[in-house]
């Protein structure tokens, strides 16, 4: 965690005074003017705290601190000014989002107290973010591990959807990238609530009752409900909810949301879910996209066009000879990527092809190996 402080002023003498009075207490860098301050952040950052003078030529303190917030939002910002009028203070708070506002001349001991408080604020910000990120990652891992245990086929679909989503986002400049990846990973999570007997009926092409059809149709709603209360996953939950909504407004959920009102992630998932379904039926990607292009109202035309351009060359490439490695299940390790289904001795699917082996998957395979045996060899990426 950074404890460094950057002081920015257009007066080199003032910066020299900061160094003399504060260098024994703090790890202090200085920069003359806003442009030099931004260069210092780029070269030597991140800084826990940035202190800036208000009146600087070329780029004043408010403009500078606004840029600091855009580039390093966790950095705590402090303003020094000799012009303590109300408007300057309001602008500093509203535009630069400053933590403290100090007037010149500021005694070294007063500045030191403010810097200690700012460092404390930075510790709070970073600790909260780290805790939130660990909680988020842990929650996602639990959900995906549960899905892999209860419904390996749905888990396999989510892995393929995730892979295709990653291939797409590499070509896009979109701030939702991490949310799109999570939406793909968690798109099938609603299946954890579906009884295994009903899943067998669905996959065996048996007729379903009206109640059973409704339960399957509401899988996106169930998934969204599971995700809504996890911090920072509100947008992901909405993407999952609308993943089966058609671009013309038909489909689930039944509401007035239509066209580009549907979340972008949902419009992408609408295409990817069907693409993965076509792939499972051994349909070549070119044929799959041709089929989707002849379903007016189902997909966002822009999304379909963008994805066709990517997946015509990236989707489901054939595995070159010698690229796979045949191993016994006991040679399987966390991080291996399966290139074949893993089956029990009697042919029951345990883990689908395309899965990246986790600790949970290893535990599952160990249990099946002891109880019923596993067909070998297993093909993994070499």
Facing residues of 81 across strands? 103
- Map residue 39 onto helix, strand or coil: helix
Cα separation of the two ends of the chain? 38
Residues of the chain with CATH 1.10.3210.10: 151-316
Per-residue pLDDT of the chain (382 residues; tens, 9 = 90+): 568 999 999 999 999 999 999 988 999 999 999 999 999 999 998 899 999 998 899 898 888 998 998 888 889 999 888 765 556 566 656 555 788 888 888 888 889 999 999 999 888 888 767 766 677 777 788 888 888 888 888 888 898 898 889 888 877 655 457 888 889 989 999 998 888 888 888 877 678 899 988 999 999 999 999 898 887 789 999 999 999 999 989 999 999 999 989 999 999 999 999 999 998 888 888 888 888 888 878 999 888 888 887 765 333 344 454 557 888 888 999 889 888 888 888 878 888 777 888 888 888 889 988 888 899 888 888 6
For position 314, what pLDDT does the model report? Answer: 39
For position 81, what pLDDT does the model report? Answer: 81
Q: How many other CB atoms are there within 10 angstroms of residue 279's CB atom?
A: 17
Alpha-helical segments (H) within 281-358: 285-293, 301-314
CATH architecture of 318-382: Alpha-Beta Complex (3.90)
Which residues have CB under 8 Å from 59's CB, separation 6+?
Answer: 33, 34, 35, 67
Q: Which two tokens stand for residue 217?
A: 């149709």
CA 335 to chain centre: 20
For position 151, what pLDDT does the model report? Answer: 85
* pTM exceeds 0.95, yes or no: no
Homologous superfamily of 4-127:
Response regulator (3.40.50.2300)
For position 318, what pLDDT does the model report? Answer: 44
Residues of the chain with CATH 3.90.105: 318-382
Residues of the chain with CATH 3.40.50.2300: 4-127
For position 4, what pLDDT does the model report? Answer: 93
Q: Which two tokens stand for residue 366?
A: 């160990």
For position 315, what pLDDT does the model report? Answer: 35
Q: Does domain 151-316 have CATH number 1.10.3210.10?
A: yes
For position 313, what pLDDT does the model report? Answer: 37
């Amino acid at each position: 965690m950074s404890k460094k402080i950057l002081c920015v002023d257009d007066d080199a003498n003032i910066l020299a005074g900061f160094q003399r009075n504060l260098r024994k207490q703090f790890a202090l860098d200085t920069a003359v003017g806003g442009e030099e301050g931004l260069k210092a952040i780029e070269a030597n950052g991140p800084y826990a705290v940035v202190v800036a003078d208000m009146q600087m030529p070329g780029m004043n303190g408010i403009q500078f601190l606004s840029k600091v917030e855009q580039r390093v939002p966790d950095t705590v910002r402090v303003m020094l000014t000799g012009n303590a009028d109300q408007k300057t203070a309001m602008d500093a708070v509203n535009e630069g989002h400053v933590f403290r506002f100090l007037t010149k001349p500021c005694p070294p001991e007063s500045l030191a107290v403010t810097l200690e408080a700012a460092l404390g604020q930075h510790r709070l910000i970073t600790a909260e973010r780290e805790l939130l990120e660990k909680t988020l990652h842990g929650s996602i891992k639990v959900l995906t591990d549960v899905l892999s245990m209860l419904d390996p086929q749905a888990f396999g679909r989510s892995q393929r959807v995730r892979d295709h989503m990653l291939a797409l986002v590499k070509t896009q400049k979109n701030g939702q990238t991490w949310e799109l990846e999570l939406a793909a990973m968690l798109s099938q999570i609603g299946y954890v609530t579906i009884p295994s007997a009903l899943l067998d009926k669905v996959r065996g092409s048996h007729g379903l009752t009206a109640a059973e059809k409704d339960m399957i149709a509401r899988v996106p709603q169930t998934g969204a409900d599971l995700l809504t209360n996890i911090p920072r996953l509100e947008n992901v939950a909405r993407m999952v909810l609308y993943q089966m909504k058609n671009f013309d407004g038909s489909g689930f959920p039944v509401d007035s949301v239509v066209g580009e009102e549907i979340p972008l992630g949902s419009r992408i998932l609408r295409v990817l879910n069907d693409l993965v379904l076509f792939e499972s039926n051994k349909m070549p990607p070119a044929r799959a996209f041709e089929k989707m292009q002849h379903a007016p109202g189902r997909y966002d035309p822009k999304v379909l066009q963008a994805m066709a351009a990517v997946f015509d060359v990236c989707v489901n490439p054939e595995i070159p000879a010698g690229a796979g490695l045949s191993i016994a299940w006991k040679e399987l390790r966390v991080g291996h990527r399966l290139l074949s289904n893993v089956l029990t001795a009697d042919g029951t699917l345990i883990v689908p092809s395309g899965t990246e082996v986790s600790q949970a998957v290893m535990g599952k395979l160990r249990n099946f190996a002891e109880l019923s045996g596993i067909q070998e060899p297993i093909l993994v990426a070499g």
